Structure 1
Amino acid sequence: MADGEGRAPVTVHPTHAHWGSYQVLVRDGTVVGVRPDPADPAPSPVIRNTPVAQHHATRVARPAVRRRWLESGPGPDDRRGHPDDEYVAVDWETALDLLAAELDRVRREHGGTAVYGGSYGWASAGRLHHSQGQLHRFLNTIGGYTRSRATYSHAAVEVLFPHVVGPRGGYELLRRPPTWRAIAEHTDLLVSFGGLRVSNMWTASGGRAAHTAEPDLRAAAGRGVRMVSVSPLRDDTPADVAAEWLPISPGTDTAVLLALIHTLFADGLADTGFLARYTVGADELRDYVMGDVDGVPKSPEWAAELSGLPADGLRDLARRMAAGRTLVNVGWSVQRARYGEQPLWAGLALAACLGQIGLPGGGFATGYGSMGSYGGGATPEGLPTFPQGRNPVDSVIPVARVTDMLLNPGAPFDFDGRRLRYPDIRLVYWSGGNPFHHHQDLNRLSRAFGRPETVVVHETHWTATARHADIVLPSTTALERDDFTAGQGDLRLRAMPRVVAPHGEARDEYDVFSELAARMGVGAEFTEGRTSAEWLVHLYEEWRGRLRAAGTEVPPPFEEFWAAGSIPIPGRVEDSALFGDFRADPDGCPLGTPSGRIELYSATIAGFGYPDCPGRPTWLDPEERLGSPRSRTWPLLLVANQPTGRLHSQQDMGEHSRSEKIADRAPIRMHPADAAARGLADGDVVRVANDRGSCLAGVRTSTDLRPGVVQLATGAWFDPSGAPGLSCVHGNPNVLTPDAGTSALSHGSTGQLALVEVERFEGTPPPVRVFDPPRITPAAER
């Protein structure tokens, strides 16, 4: 593509990310633009972030070692993460020698348990060059590590549902729900707690060849599927699907779900035949919701006091749900709050009382509107996967308890029926991902990162996590290496050829870990004698062999795939009724629960004795809600949802992400009445605060919020460079969110809700410094 001005031509390169397939425009080795894939019916606008992010000043260009660690040696250091900390640039040989020696020291003196392989996050969409898998394979090869279990996205789902519907049922709820086309064909009413947010559908782990969820959602509405969005945000569901909006007070979803169940029992609409044949615990559930257990009927009037939704409206909704084919969806955001297991369990119980579980387009789901792959079919034979090996260390923590682990070595904790102890972590190793995005109470997390003796981070950019590291190794981006990708349930496996040369001295993680493994005497075990290029061929051909053995259509050899750029994925399952086999034959196809049935009361969970997660769906009153005693001090309820400008915190410096900001800060949306009561207007810079921390943000008023609710999306890079009393000058809401698990059962993230106050920031706001690289001294100047 010539520009007519004598400059080098622009070349066009297809590429792929978690936010989908798109094209990259390159001139003279520099990414100068992007454009959507012509075959994508609903491309994500976040592709616009790529050109700026690819060549940004915050790219890590050379290996760097924190000066205090380099000069004083390993040890705890509260200065980690200080915005004015200094690094020393070193060559790769020096960096790898230092790191190999430190890994060997910690392994010899303290064992693999003392190494936390925390890598968690999205990183590259590639099937080979996925940072988390690379790191875990390496740590397994050198003797093991302390690992994390579950995800920040939906830990409560992952831990609760294997007890309630069995391990396979829990997997299918997450990975094999009915497609949007099945909903369009069979569903009369879709009631979604947490809405059906379109921007969440832009993203899928591994990306998608084409974004079909949003068009399919609209098509379902066009075919007559009625939708109800139970959410504090009107725009959690697109306006053109004409969803009924129930502006619930955040954190009260369980109360509303129990009130709907109450109406079904009170009106004789509960399907008692289904409950008797397919569930256990229905009597316990009924006694609880009718008030026989505690003298408090969980009636619509009771729920109205908590939720702010009219009692008559809730009663009418329950009756409409019983009158046709109804799908109850509880989005992942709803369970990211204290007692997050309860709305999930109550939603499943409501679907059971309706008697439609196992019917096409009916029953229960969790995840529609939460990610683009949900409701997109399934790939039964899996995808090519880089093997991680076996971890010989039996040391595990819930993923969202990393701060507790670092601050409390040796302390006991309960988790999913087990009594465990936090390990004494001496070395934290992170490759890909950014806990200073995912985690809560970032002031506390920053203190915790000061406790280990050494922190190692592989990164593409100088994120807050990299700035808390002692050794920082520069990684290539997905545009700088060969790979291939596909998301779960995707239509196509797609090649990802290298687009531009690595930035500075950046290297692929595979090559870095190969050299480290060689230094530690396990090079052959890690590489198995293959280069990364040879691994790509091996993984692909091994996948072809699995497909052949399963009797599925076999795709062409690797060379043909790579030349073609993409191939259809064989064996995709388009539509299925979730729990259809169980409904057809509950005795021959029992669930993997102790009873073989859906457990509306779980004797197993009850036996754990957790006050914060009893043996049946229960209303437990959270601190972080409107009307709680805590709200008398902090009267606004902050919803920290997923951003529309980027994927999590990735490429926050990009064009699309920064176009949404106000005075360089993340925007906080307020209802006009709440803004006026505080003398605030659009564009004002405000201090958002509670007793955990504070951040600056820019005001944007909107009637799409329930009064009393403010919304500040996650993902603004954590910037603690302001004046005392400001935790973040850039607008990261996780300086405000509580670092407490959902319950002792799953310890899921509770980062969705936090009570706050908002006030005008007086004076000149401090500048945002997070997109300036840290001070780095050349090694010769040490």
Structure 2
Amino acid sequence: HVGNVHLLPILKEARSRGATIVSVDPVHHRTAAFADLHVQPRPGGDSALALGVACLFFERGHVDPRAGEYCDHLPEFERLARSRSASEWADLAGVAPETLDALVQAYAQKPAALLIGWGLQRRRNGSATVRVIDALGAISGNVGIPGGGVSYYYKRRGAFDLGFAKRDEVAPRLIPEPLFGPAVLAAQDPPIRMLWVTAANPVAMLPESETVAQALETRELTVVVDSFLTDSARHAHLVLPTTTLLEEDDLLGAYGHHWVVESRPVVAPPGEVKSDYQIIQELARRTGLANEFSESLETWKRRVLQPVADKGASLEDLRNGAVRNPLAPQLMFADRRFPTPSGKVNLIHEVDVTPTRGTPTRPLILMALSTSKSQASQWDKQDQQGPAIATVHPLAAPNFEEGEIARLQSEQGELRVELRFDKRQRPEVVLMDKGGWLSAGRCANALVKAEVTDAGGCAVYYDTPVRLLKFPTCC
């Protein structure tokens, strides 16, 4: 209902054909009411939950008899799954054994698809968790069959030829995005003197927001290209106004599906506003690179679409409507051959299954979630007034009243928040809106430490221990 609205019509159609919809999320949200079964594990309990399902699959004979033909390390994965009883896995995941059993019964009905949201990658061991779920999909026989699979990501630019962008090949050094603030400040030999920020609002959206702000404002020159005066723009020396999507001429891939479209402007940009490409052209003209950026947008579009132009996705095709990426197969791994050295699924068999825990002094876990009211940090200004809302189960704030103004504190910082109670949430979590503005005192990322996950280079957004504190009473 928020992060992948394109999926809803497909889920509704599947349900009309008899499919069972299961939602697995430590947060209770609108999708929970839509689902036939909502499973609410503790934060970071997904690996334990998946291994509990795998344990019962092995015990009850639900494992594909041919799994050994296309899976490496099957015996080792079975030992991992059987290293605890199903009830022990359920307890570690924070769900009732009956809930685990209901999940097993639902997933045992083939074909069954696992659709993994992006929340898992925002935990310290997120990559390993995704691999555990991948393993469950493999041993159940749901890989390489219609209606099955484990889906985590769509190559939204997979139809485009981006070979002209050398990126990492020519970059003199690389800084992981989650470590941006501390890394810029620490960079030496040589130090980073200038920053150019486009298509991003790192102050609001990256961990350690105060550190990121410091990194931007302490360079010799920081340029931010944006349509609005964002938190990042407020810390820049120069802000270049650029077009919004309604004014832009571009090609677009997609979040959450395989369709490609051409974006055409519906209104003219105001005044001196220029597109990102026009800004680069003007800069190139002043730096001796005018020839490299002299071609029209039409020419660039046709160049980018070369891999699919003769497959039904030319620029003319896109101008007649959205086109599904012809390079995206309808069925992945139909031959059950995989891009590994052995050609088999490499089942994970060593994994830290410990769920996220708070600390004795900071027992709650912060999660800042997407909301239907904004796209990342693109809020209406009136929605960024007053203290940020922090939603908790009443048991998480036993000495507070609903609506009370409290201090939400991590090791990294502190925010002033207004408490909302929701008995449907787990008592370990504090929920906030994603993308709140630092300038308004509503930025959850100001509380999040800059660190990277176990693989994939994502920020650890969802594992921050926090506590609620009272404001001192007035004398």
The answer to whether structure 1 residue 213 and structure 2 residue 213 are counterparts is: no
Alpha-carbon offset, residue 311 of structure 1: 2.8
What residue is the counterpart of 2:36 in the other structure? 243
What residue is the counterpart of 1:401 in the other structure? 179
Distance across 2 between alignment mates of 1:463 and 1:685 = 26
State the SS of the aligned residue for 1:538.
helix
The answer to whether structure 1 residue 382 and structure 2 residue 136 are counterparts is: no
The answer to whether structure 1 residue 757 and structure 2 residue 443 are counterparts is: no
The amino acid of 1:270's aligned partner reads: V
Distance across 1 between alignment mates of 2:166 and 2:204 = 28
**Aligned pairs for 1:467-616 within 5 A:** 467-483=234-250, 485=252, 487=254, 489=257, 493-503=261-271, 505-527=272-294, 530=295, 535-542=296-303, 547=308, 550=310, 552=312, 556=316, 561=319, 566-569=320-323, 572=326, 576-580=330-334, 582-583=335-336, 590-601=337-348, 616=349
Residues 214 and 486 (structure 1 numbering): CA distance in 2 closer, same or farther, change over 3 Å? same
User: In the TM superposition, what whole-angstrom CA distance separates every residue of 1:281-313 from its partner, at most 9, and x where no partner exists?
Assistant: 1122223333xxxxxx23333323332212343
Distance across 2 between alignment mates of 1:574 and 1:703 = 43
Distance across 2 between alignment mates of 1:495 and 1:305 = 49
Task: Return the match for 1:282 from 67, 70, 74.
Answer: 74
What residue is the counterpart of 2:138 in the other structure? 352
User: In the TM superposition, what whole-angstrom CA distance separates every residue of 1:187-226 from its partner, at most 9, and x where no partner exists?
Assistant: xxxxxxxxxxx11124xxxxxxxxx422222232233211
What residue is the counterpart of 1:225 in the other structure? 19
Distance across 2 between alignment mates of 1:221 and 1:252 = 27
Alpha-carbon offset, residue 546 of structure 1: 5.2
Where does the alignment leave 5 or more consecutive residues of structure 2 unmatched? none
The answer to whether structure 1 residue 643 and structure 2 residue 368 are counterparts is: no
The amino acid of 2:150's aligned partner reads: F
The answer to whether structure 1 residue 445 and structure 2 residue 212 are counterparts is: yes
Distance across 2 between alignment mates of 1:475 and 1:380 = 22
**Aligned pairs for 1:700-719 within 5 A:** 700-719=420-439
State the SS of the aligned residue for 2:90.
helix
Distance across 2 between alignment mates of 1:648 and 1:380 = 20
State the SS of the aligned residue for 2:50.
helix
Cα RMSD (Å) of the superposition? 3.3
User: In the TM superposition, what whole-angstrom CA distance separates every residue of 1:490-545 from its partner, at most 9, and x where no partner exists?
Assistant: 65734422514425x43333233222222222222232xx3xxxx23223444676
Distance across 1 between alignment mates of 2:175 and 2:421 = 40
1:380–1:571 Cα contact (<8 Å) kept: no
Distance across 1 between alignment mates of 2:410 and 2:201 = 24
Distance across 1 between alignment mates of 2:109 and 2:258 = 35
1:485–1:496 Cα contact (<8 Å) kept: no
Task: Return the match for 1:262 from 55, 66, 74.
Answer: 55
State the SS of the aligned residue for 2:369.
coil
1:261–1:289 Cα contact (<8 Å) kept: yes
User: In the TM superposition, what whole-angstrom CA distance separates every residue of 1:647-679 from its partner, at most 9, and x where no partner exists?
Assistant: 1001x1256xx2xx6x6333222224434x132
Residues 402 and 308 (structure 1 numbering): CA distance in 2 closer, same or farther, change over 3 Å? same
The answer to whether structure 1 residue 679 and structure 2 residue 389 are counterparts is: no
Distance across 1 between alignment mates of 2:354 and 2:412 = 21
User: In the TM superposition, what whole-angstrom CA distance separates every residue of 1:441-462 from its partner, at most 9, and x where no partner exists?
Assistant: 2233334446644322222222
State the SS of the aligned residue for 2:124.
coil
The answer to whether structure 1 residue 667 and structure 2 residue 386 are counterparts is: no
Task: Return the match for 2:410 from 690, 698, 704.
Answer: 690
Alpha-carbon offset, residue 277 of structure 1: 0.6
Distance across 2 between alignment mates of 1:747 and 1:570 = 29
Residues 557 and 289 (structure 1 numbering): CA distance in 2 closer, same or farther, change over 3 Å? closer
What residue is the counterpart of 1:209 in the other structure? none
What residue is the counterpart of 2:103 in the other structure? 317
Alpha-carbon offset, residue 763 of structure 1: 8.0
Distance across 2 between alignment mates of 1:332 and 1:567 = 28
Distance across 1 between alignment mates of 2:157 and 2:414 = 46
Alpha-carbon offset, residue 344 of structure 1: 0.3
The answer to whether structure 1 residue 298 and structure 2 residue 84 are counterparts is: yes
The answer to whether structure 1 residue 653 and structure 2 residue 447 are counterparts is: no
User: In the TM superposition, what whole-angstrom CA distance separates every residue of 1:407-451 from its partner, at most 9, and x where no partner exists?
Assistant: 4336xxxxxxxxxxx974332221220112221122333344466
Residues 402 and 318 (structure 1 numbering): CA distance in 2 closer, same or farther, change over 3 Å? same
State the SS of the aligned residue for 1:226.
coil
State the SS of the aligned residue for 2:213.
helix
Alpha-carbon offset, residue 571 of structure 1: 6.4
The amino acid of 1:619's aligned partner reads: D
What residue is the counterpart of 1:201 in the other structure? 4
The answer to whether structure 1 residue 331 and structure 2 residue 117 are counterparts is: yes
Distance across 1 between alignment mates of 2:253 and 2:62 = 44
The amino acid of 1:653's aligned partner reads: D
State the SS of the aligned residue for 1:710.
strand
State the SS of the aligned residue for 1:199.
coil
Alpha-carbon offset, residue 598 of structure 1: 0.8
Where does the alignment leave 5 or more consecutive residues of structure 1 unmatched? 1-197, 203-211, 291-296, 368-373, 411-421, 584-589, 602-615, 720-728, 765-782
TM-score (norm 2): 0.87
2:311–2:326 Cα contact (<8 Å) kept: no
1:693–1:736 Cα contact (<8 Å) kept: yes
Alpha-carbon offset, residue 333 of structure 1: 0.4
